[in-house]
């Protein structure tokens, strides 16, 4: 009985190890690449690099090794990814809200809600995208790029191809904005101080690394204001996921079932707890 149990444990371990090892290698390469000054200066964070590497491997090598790696990759996607989202809360503090002020909070809330609703409207009504793809693109554009897309995916339960489309959209337009926003500032300097323009950058750009790159290109004051405004948007991730989960439940009730209680994503609750702990 003991020997049989050990054999089962070994089989379970080998079911996960190849996929987890592949995920660890991609993570290590992405962290190394994200630490290169030229890469970081271009606005490519380790997260963005990891996603790009995953897309390349997923369309080249992975189809030949998926049977060996699928168990570990799915485990990383379902458990380690959510743990990473929870730990993301350690980057934020409530004291940053006071630095932005009421006007910055209002700007971020309005930007988040209007961007998400506009993405949903244009995606479905103009470009003919399905609901899930529009939601994922809207989440990434309105909150924090690829991290928001990956955090939203467990709530909407979209196909991996739709997640890839949303991430690619955020990376392309976010990278374009790194060069566009600093180029626009000389034309707008008469109306915007560096701090005000920094709030605009932090309230409208996708990735944190992209915000840092664009803000730094304007001025140190713009960079500081941009990062604080961006962190405030990231702080809104958990409330956004809770509201979206309610909407998903409303639109997709169980067949023949009465209206049931809304299930709040557990990792969203832990995200809020971590933020409070870190304040």
pLDDT tens digits, 187-222: 998 898 998 899 889 888 988 778 888 888 888 888
pLDDT tens digits, 18-44: 889 999 999 999 999 988 988 877 767
Q: Which residue has the higher pLDDT, 101 or 239?
A: 239
Q: Which residue has the higher pLDDT, 265 or 163?
A: 163
pLDDT of 250: 82
Q: How many domains does the chain have?
A: 1
Mean pLDDT to the nearest integer, 71-91: 78
Q: Which residue has the higher pLDDT, 63 or 108?
A: 63
Compute the distance between CA of residue 207 and CA of residue 177 in angstroms, rounded to an integer: 10
Q: Which residue has the higher pLDDT, 257 or 188?
A: 188
Compute the distance between CA of residue 37 and CA of residue 30 in angstroms, rounded to an integer: 13
Of all residues in the chain, the percent with pLDDT exceeding 70 is 82
Q: Which residue has the higher pLDDT, 127 or 212?
A: 127
Place of tokens 């730990």: 87
Rounded to 5 degrees, what are φ and ψ at 138?
-65, -40
Q: Under a CB-based contact definition with an 8 Å cutoff, are residues 149 and 167 in contact?
A: yes
Residues whose CB is less than 8 angstroms from the CB of residue 157 and which lie 6 or more positions away in sequence, other chains included: 132
Q: Which residue has the higher pLDDT, 263 or 208?
A: 208
Residue 166: CB atoms within 10 A of its CB come to 31
pLDDT of 1: 46
Domain that holds residue 109: 2-277
Q: How confident is the model at residue 70 (pLDDT cuts 50, 70, 90)?
A: confident
Indicate the pTM of the whole model.
0.71
pLDDT of 148: 87
Q: Which residue has the higher pLDDT, 240 or 40?
A: 240
């Amino acid at each position: 009985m003991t020997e049989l149990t050990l054999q089962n444990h070994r089989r379970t371990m080998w079911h996960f190890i190849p996929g987890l090892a592949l995920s660890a290698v991609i993570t290590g390469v992405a962290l190394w690449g994200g630490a290169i000054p030229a890469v970081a200066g271009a606005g490519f964070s380790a997260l963005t690099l990891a996603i790009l590497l995953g897309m390349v491997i997923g369309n080249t090598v992975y189809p030949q090794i998926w049977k060996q790696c699928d168990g570990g990759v799915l485990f990383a996607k379902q458990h380690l990814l959510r743990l990473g989202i929870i730990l993301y809360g350690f980057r934020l503090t409530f004291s940053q809200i006071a630095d932005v002020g009421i006007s910055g909070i209002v700007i971020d809330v309005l930007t988040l809600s209007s961007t998400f609703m506009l993405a949903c409207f244009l995606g479905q009504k103009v470009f003919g995208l399905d609901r899930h793809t529009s939601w994922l693109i809207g989440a990434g554009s309105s909150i924090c790029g690829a991290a928001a897309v990956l955090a939203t995916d467990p709530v909407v339960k979209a196909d991996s191809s739709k997640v890839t489309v949303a991430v690619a959209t955020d990376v392309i337009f976010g990278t374009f904005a790194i060069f566009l926003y600093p180029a626009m500032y000389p034309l707008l300097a008469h109306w915007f101080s560096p701090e005000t323009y920094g709030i605009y950058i932090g309230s409208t750009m996708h990735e944190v690394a992209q915000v840092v790159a664009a803000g730094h290109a304007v001025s140190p004051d713009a960079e500081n204001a941009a990062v604080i405004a961006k962190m405030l948007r990231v702080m809104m991730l958990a409330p956004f996921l809770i509201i979206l989960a309610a909407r998903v439940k409303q639109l997709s009730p169980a067949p023949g079932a009465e209206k049931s209680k809304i299930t709040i994503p557990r990792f969203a609750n832990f995200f809020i707890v971590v933020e409070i702990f870190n304040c």
